[in-house]
Amino acid sequence: MKLPHLKIGMALFPDSLDGIRGLARGLRITVVSLSLVSVAAVCVSKGGGVEFVQDTTPVNEDLTLVIEATRSTIEIFKGEPGTVITQLEAGNRMKVVHRVRPGTFVPTSRLLIETFIPTKYAPRSRAIVRLWIPDRTELEVNGDDVNVQISGPLAGTIAVNGVITLTEGDATLNNVVGNFSISTGQGGITLDNVDGKFDAETERGSIFFRGVPTPDEISHLETGTGSIFADLNGVSDPAVSASVARGVILLHDEKRPLSGTDISVSPEDGAASLELVTANGIIDIRR
């Protein structure tokens, strides 16, 4: 590491004690300023062939968190304001490329987390990345063979908005308040106890939904080959539309159990706030 304010030569070593103290202060200031733009990984524990690496990054309130990953499980939990904690668990960390990249300044309003496993190690090697993030974080996840799980606390919820795009893998949201766009090529989508606007699509997989669609918005759930299960018990007068190309719709209603291929249950003065569509599968609605 080069320190531009130091010159190599005899002048590096002051003659007086005051000069030495001044030099030490200058070195400390330099080290502190460099540490603000780099958050180093800390090895917490190692045993049984499993390594844990943890990062703590100071962040601003208006945080955008971007995650790029392969062959991993991403677990996201509610954390404390002002910090993001990232923990990597891997059977052999030398096979995992894991980087936490804050913006130019810390605290940062944009944080990039990269977790890659080179193709030569797949599919034998996988990693688990756990994150604790503040409420109101904007989340962007892009993954290949990646499972994403976002969970609020047992006695509450986590408020987060985001976009999740997976070529393969499952996306699971539990106790989440926010708006999400979710797409997976091959995998399932679970939206359990969610409150917000959701646009979720899977080409080959099923969708489970239990929550409260935003009344003034339109949430859209769609599968190519797979079923949709919507549990709307406890939601007063849910406005729902459902259609299938090949398959059947089952509507479990205390007043009138229905089945068919095109069903709409919506108030007279408005459109459906939850749209369910499948090309080949079953749509099961309970309300």
Q: Are 77 and 130 in contact (CB under 8 A)?
A: yes
Tens digits of residue pLDDT in 127-167:
999 999 999 999 999 999 999 999 999 889 999 999 999 99
What's the confidence (pLDDT) of residue 271?
A: 77
Q: Are 68 and 112 in contact (CB under 8 A)?
A: yes
Which residue(s) pair with 72 in the sheet?
127, 146
Q: What is the distance between the alpha carbons of residues 141 and 158, in angstroms, rounded to a whole number?
A: 17
Q: What is the distance between the alpha carbons of residues 107 and 203, in angstroms, rounded to a whole number?
A: 39
Enter the tokens of residue 6: 């130091």
Q: Provide DSSP, 217-246.
A: S-EEEEEEES-EEEE-TT-SS--EEEEEEE
Pairing verdict, β 180-186 and 158-168: parallel
What CATH architecture does domain 35-286 belong to?
Answer: 3 Solenoid (2.160)
CA 15 centroid distance within chain: 57
Which residue(s) pair with 280 in the sheet?
225, 246
Q: What is the distance between the alpha carbons of residues 13 and 220, in angstroms, rounded to a whole number?
A: 70
Q: Are 97 and 59 in contact (CB under 8 A)?
A: no
What's the confidence (pLDDT) of residue 120?
A: 82
Residue linked to tokens 């999400």: 180
What's the confidence (pLDDT) of residue 23?
A: 45
Enter the tokens of residue 245: 């190309």
- With a CB cutoff of 8 Å and minimum separation 6, the contacts of 162 are 137, 138, 139, 140, 141, 178, 180, 181
Q: Where do the structural domains in the chain lie, given as residue ranges?
A: 35-286
pTM value is 0.80
Q: Provide DSSP, 111-156.
A: EEEEEE--GGGTTT--EEEEEEE-TTEEEEEEEEEEEEEEE--TTS
Q: Quick check: helix, strand or coil at residue 74? A: strand
Enter the tokens of residue 20: 């030495």
Q: What is the distance between the alpha carbons of residues 224 and 205, in angstroms, rounded to a whole number?
A: 8
Length of the chain: 287
Instruction: Write the Ramachandran bin of 226: left for phi over 0, alpha for psi from -120 to 50, otherwise beta.
Output: left
Return averaged pLDDT per consecutive 10 residues of the chain, 287 residues in all.
37 48 46 39 49 93 97 97 95 86 93 91 84 98 97 93 98 96 97 94 96 86 95 78 85 67 60 89 88
What's the confidence (pLDDT) of residue 2?
A: 38
